[in-house]
Amino acid sequence: GAVVSQHPSRVICKSGTSVKIECRSLDFQATTMFWYRQFPKKSLMLMATSNEGSKATYEQGVEKDKFLINHASLTLSTLTVTSAHPEDSSFYICSATTWGDSGGYNEQFFGPGTRLTVL
């Protein structure tokens, strides 16, 4: 399958600072990237859908001003956690995909995730 990378894999920051997480599709052009959040022992929760060149669509309950998403190219999307607080500590996972010819997304390829710890 296609390869999706995330950087950094781990980050520790102080409360009140901002952190940027990168998601890259390494061997294909991803028209759509998704950002998920995974709590310990919990499922993945979709945060937002990011389409190249347009504003991200956020799921209900996700603060768009806190979690800034930029999808400036077909191979890169970034998630910036602004003014981070300890409750933002989590595992953030991205996926990348394209829209299928017969409708619906093609297979989503997932990055390895980024562990964010806010002190």
Residue 4 lies near another protein (rule: CB under 8 A) = yes
> Considering CB under 8 A, how many residues would be counted as binding another protein?
23
Q: Is 89 in the site for another protein (CB under 8 A)?
A: no
Residue 28 sits in the site that holds another protein (CB under 8 A): no
CB–CB of 48/59 below 8 Å? Answer: yes
Cβ closest to another protein, residue 63 vs residue 107: 107
Of 14-22, 61-69, 79-87, 102-110, the segment contacting another protein by CB under 8 A is 102-110
| HSE-CB for 48 with a 13 A CA cutoff | 24
Interaction of residue 35 with another protein, rule CB under 8 A: no
Of the candidates 72, 82, 76, 81, the residue with the CA atom closest to the CA atom of residue 94: 76
Residues forming beta bridges with residue 117, ordered by sequence position: 12
